[in-house]
Amino acid sequence: MNGLGFGSRYGLPFVSPNNILVTTINGTGSVIEAIYVVIFLIFAERKTRVKMMGLLGLVTSIFTMVVLVSLLALHGQGRKLFCGLAATIFSICMYASPLSIMRLVIKTKSVEFMPFLLSLSVFLCGTSWFIYGLLGRDPFIAIPNGCGSFLGLMQLILYAIYRNHKGATPAAAGKGAADDEVEDAKKAAAALEMADAKTNKVADTVADDGNKPADDKVASQV
**Structural domains of the chain, count:** 1
d(CA 146, CA 140) in angstroms, rounded, equals 10
Q: How many residues does the structure list for the chain?
A: 222
d(CA 123, CA 119) in angstroms, rounded, equals 6
The SS3 assignment for 17 reads coil
Residue 35 lies in a domain: yes
H or E element at residue 13: none
Q: What is the mean pLDDT of the chain?
A: 74
Q: What is the mean pLDDT of residues 196-220?
A: 51
Residue 51 lies in a domain: yes
Q: What is the mean pLDDT of residues 9-21?
A: 66
Residue 26 lies in a domain: yes
Q: What is the mean pLDDT of residues 33-57?
A: 86
pTM of the entire predicted model? 0.61
Range scoring the smallest mean pLDDT among 15-24, 45-54, 104-113: 15-24
Residue 32 lies in a domain: yes
Instruction: State the residue range of the domain holding 65.
Output: 1-96
Residue 142 lies in a domain: no
d(CA 164, CA 156) in angstroms, rounded, equals 14
Residue 135 lies in a domain: no
Range scoring the smallest mean pLDDT among 65-69, 151-155, 196-200: 196-200
pLDDT digits (tens, 9 = 90+) for 98-126: 788 888 888 888 888 888 888 898 899 88
Residue 77 lies in a domain: yes
Residue 181 lies in a domain: no
